[in-house]
Structure 1
Amino acid sequence: MNIGIILAGGIGTRMGQIERPKQFIEIYGKPIVVHTIEAFEMHKDIDQIAVVCLKEWMESLRGLIRRYELSKVQWIIEAGETRQDSTNNALNHLRNVCNDDDILIIHDAARPLISSRIITENIIETKKSGAVDTVISATDTIVCSLDGKRINDIPKRKNFFLGQTPQSFKYSVITNAYDTITDEKRREATDDCKIVKAYGHEISLVMGDKINFKITTSDDLMMLKAMLKLSDMGRGSYVFQND
């Protein structure tokens, strides 16, 4: 079984003054989180979907799922204080549902332009290796500075990648990692791959796409609107879904 886990627990502090969490901002009459869920809903290899959501927005999300007939969404799970807490809540919720070899495709709700190709390749590679990160190549020169004032190193760009999501795992791999990591290391981790890597499991790479960017600032919202306008005015028929 392949389960998409959509992390929709953020509040969008870098977006500035907004009335609602960024994932619930409407773009062409449809909330960003719905755009994201639909990418998984329409993918033939996704069996079920779990959405991790802020407690105070769970009822609104239920209404959106009914309105847009998102039939693969089986669970709405309360978000934690951090991203890692939210993932852990989802894992605990699925303990009596998943088998060891089931695949969890964990994705940011704020990355609505994910393509079907990225989801497919995550599933294929996770079946082989058990753990996958989605990345894109670093196109600009990478500069390392330890104090933020002076350059300490300029490493070779070809060895560096920018992380995206999904991050995908066999259920047994990620649950074992979360069950064994210390609280201190979990707090230090910035994403699920770092936790799985600390557990000792190697992470394979799947190439992402520049279009699969994360909505973080108001500029990103403008970019999203432009991309959706180019692809059938945001009605869901993304020209890049089958790349």
Structure 2
Amino acid sequence: MNIAIIIAGGSGNRMGQDIPKQFINVYDKPVLIYTLEGFQRHPMVDAIEVVCLDGWHGVLWAYAHQFNISKLKWVVSGGNTGQESIRNGVYNLEDKVSDNDIIIIHDGIRPLVDASVLTDVIQKAKQYGNAVTSLPYNEQIFIVNPEDKETTKEYIPREILRRVSTPQAYRFGRLDSAYHEAFEKEIGIYGSAYTNTMMVELGETLHFAAGSDKNIKLTTKDDLELFKGYLKVDKDTWLK
């Protein structure tokens, strides 16, 4: 099976709204539901688990029924950090899936995940054991001069860089053991750590999968306006 873990345990303080950003309505539909619909529609996704902010579980189930998210099977509570939230979602599946099942981890506030991106990350995870959505980095990256922070004398060739986000996918057996090891040894679980960075710190080789520039993360009000723009825009039929 291919099971998605959607991470929606954050409070979204940077959005500056009265409700968590994953539950903000955009054109009469919560952001999180847009995200779930992408997984609901995808033929290779068999089941969905959402790691949800405490106090919002009932709201999520109600929305899932309203918008026909029939693949939603489990809702679990988030943790104090992003890594704790992902860990909670992984541990909840220990008696529900097999070691060879593919687990797709995705941010609930990335509502524009493309079907082709999901397909590629699942297929590569089946082939290699893991896959992380990635894109080339198209801007020049310069390193701040430590002697004068207003100047630079060094750059990083962009050809050696990749931007990595979610969705990411892993075989469950390795993913589960990695989270147990990471929290027991306190490796790769603090700050901005995520599953991919944790895996690298534990010595894992990760495999790149396809990405999309549309796959934006809704962190600020400007991101929300951009999302609304994507929903309204009509694709030009002549573009290849």
TM-score, structure 1 length as denominator?
Answer: 0.91
Check the 8 A contact 2:4/2:48 in 1, yes or no.
yes
Tell me whether 1:223 sits opposite 2:226 in the alignment: yes
Question: How far apart are 1:208 and its partner, in Å?
Answer: 0.6
Counterparts of 1:1-243 in structure 2, within 5 Å, are 1-15=1-15, 17-145=16-144, 149-151=150-152, 153-181=154-182, 182-188=185-191, 190-230=193-233
Question: How far apart are 1:132 and its partner, in Å?
Answer: 1.3
CA 1:55–1:107 in 2, change beyond 3 Å: closer, same or farther? same
CA 1:18–1:194 in 2, change beyond 3 Å: closer, same or farther? same
Q: Which amino acid aligns with 1:159?
A: I
| Runs of 4+ with >2 A deviation | 144-153
Q: Which amino acid aligns with 2:178?
A: A
Check the 8 A contact 2:133/2:168 in 1, yes or no.
yes
Question: How far apart are 1:42 and its partner, in Å?
Answer: 0.4
Q: Which amino acid aligns with 2:174?
A: V
1:16-48 CA distance string (max 9 Å, x none): x20111111111100000000000000001000
CA distance in 1, matches of 2:163, 2:187: 25
Which secondary structure does the structure 1 equivalent of 2:156 belong to?
coil
CA 1:55–1:199 in 2, change beyond 3 Å: closer, same or farther? same
Q: Number of aligned pairs? A: 233
Segments of structure 1 that go 5 or more residues without pairing to the other structure are: 232-237
Check the 8 A contact 2:102/2:125 in 1, yes or no.
yes
Check the 8 A contact 1:131/1:201 in 2, yes or no.
no
Q: Which amino acid aligns with 2:23?
A: F
1:120-154 CA distance string (max 9 Å, x none): 00110001111111111111111223755543631
- Identity %, equivalent residues: 32
Which secondary structure does the structure 2 equivalent of 1:209 belong to?
coil
CA distance in 2, matches of 1:171, 1:152: 44
CA distance in 2, matches of 1:39, 1:185: 29
Check the 8 A contact 2:188/2:197 in 1, yes or no.
no
CA distance in 2, matches of 1:25, 1:110: 10
Check the 8 A contact 2:187/2:198 in 1, yes or no.
no
CA distance in 2, matches of 1:86, 1:24: 17
CA distance in 2, matches of 1:152, 1:89: 44
Which secondary structure does the structure 2 equivalent of 1:70 belong to?
coil
CA distance in 2, matches of 1:19, 1:81: 19
